[in-house]
Amino acid sequence: MQNSLSIIIVNWNSGTQLKDCIKSIEKAKKDNFDLKEVIIVDNASTDDSLNNIEDTNLPLKIIKNPENYGFAKACNIGAKGAKGDFILFLNPDMIVFEDTFTNLFDYIYKNDRPEICIYGIQLLDENGNIQKTCARFPDLWKLIVRTVGLDTINSKIFKSYRMEDWDHKETREIDQVIGAFFLVKRHLFERFKGFDEKFFVYFEEVDFSKRAYELGFRTVYVTEAKAYHKGGGTSEKVKGKRLFYNSQSRLIYAFKHLGFVKGLILMGFIYFVEPISRTGFLVLKRKFNEIPELIKGYLYLYKDTLKTIKKGIK
């Protein structure tokens, strides 16, 4: 009996990327699974990314949110109507290959176990290089290493939660995979009540994977299936806001999973050390034009300090 699949794509001003993503889904082989629907959840886009989007043979559904609810909430909205045995949360900056889905389901049919909750696949950049998209569950030290930037100096000595020290060339069980291609069993996604909507964007998949892991479920990274990932996506256009949401989500995760004291320690590093290290890296790379956005991001963060703490400990 074939498995069925629902694909959910959250869109926010993704331009032509969304159309390219949908075209790639349309061209992909679907011999060994049943594609129930492709659900696009639009977070009040103001560009033309939805224009003529229904010109496809795919079973397409479009949900238009009245405002930008963020990634986690938009995913949950899409998942409420999903009918597939599996839900694939797919970023609009993804291009799947002809054999992406069939190779992935071939692997699942041969190797799936009840305790596997999440599957990720090998993602490639525009030059065909493997992107290092897997991660460990963050503890305080790994978060500090990433915050200060020590892993960019030597990822083998200073290991952050990002698995930069591993070549990503073999299939294996890992802590968590990137949310750009995040395949989860629908009954487990519903059992765990979806993504935590306190995460506006970033770390929602880390939090979900952590909660699943603590209940005995696992994540598998599958190299038999591959896809192209542009990376950056629409957040490239709003670097200040991206920095704010990334920093805020790290703090919410720390307060929620590591405790209040460790959350405060991380906050000290993010608020006072990270701005200096980030500015230093920009100066070294002569990216002086990005410094105003950097400042803007931290001003957003300082302004929302109490809200961030409340979200983490609530």
Last residue in a domain, options 207, 234, 261 = 234
Q: Which pLDDT score, from 0 to 100, does residue 39 have?
A: 98
Structural domain includes residue 149: no
| Beta-sheet strands, E only, within the chain | 3-11, 33-43, 60-65, 86-90, 94-96, 116-124, 134-135, 172-174, 176-177, 181-185, 218-229
When pLDDT is cut at 50, 70 and 90, the band that residue 81 belongs to is: confident
Q: pLDDT for 101-156, tens place per residue?
A: 999 999 999 999 999 999 999 999 999 999 999 999 999 999 999 999 888 888 77
Instruction: Determine the structural domain holding residue 46 and report its residue range.
Output: 3-133+168-234
Q: Which pLDDT score, from 0 to 100, does residue 236 have?
A: 56
Structural domain includes residue 186: yes
Q: Are residues 250 and 217 in the same domain?
A: no
Q: pLDDT for 225-282, tens place per residue?
A: 999 999 765 555 578 999 999 999 999 999 999 999 999 999 999 999 999 999 988 9
DSSP 131: P
Structural domain includes residue 162: no
Q: Are residues 102 and 14 in the same domain?
A: yes
Instruction: For residue 157, give every residue at least 6 positions away whose Cβ sits within 8 Å of its Cβ, in sequence order, or none.
Output: none
Measured from the Cβ of residue 125, the count of other Cβ atoms closer than 10 Å reads 12
User: Which residue from 11, 3, 8 is spatially nearest to 46, judged by alpha carbons?
Assistant: 11
Instruction: For residue 145, give every residue at least 6 positions away whose Cβ sits within 8 Å of its Cβ, in sequence order, or none.
Output: 151, 158, 159, 160
pTM of the model: 0.94
Q: Which pLDDT score, from 0 to 100, does residue 128 have?
A: 94
CA distance 19 to 133: 24
When pLDDT is cut at 50, 70 and 90, the band that residue 202 belongs to is: very high
Structural domain includes residue 267: yes
Q: Are residues 22 and 98 in the same domain?
A: yes
Structural domain includes residue 141: no
Q: What percent of the chain has pLDDT over 70?
A: 98
Structural domain includes residue 142: no
The total number of structural domains that make up the chain: 2
Q: Are residues 18 and 96 in the same domain?
A: yes
Q: Are residues 293 and 211 in the same domain?
A: no
Q: Residue 170 is which amino acid?
A: E
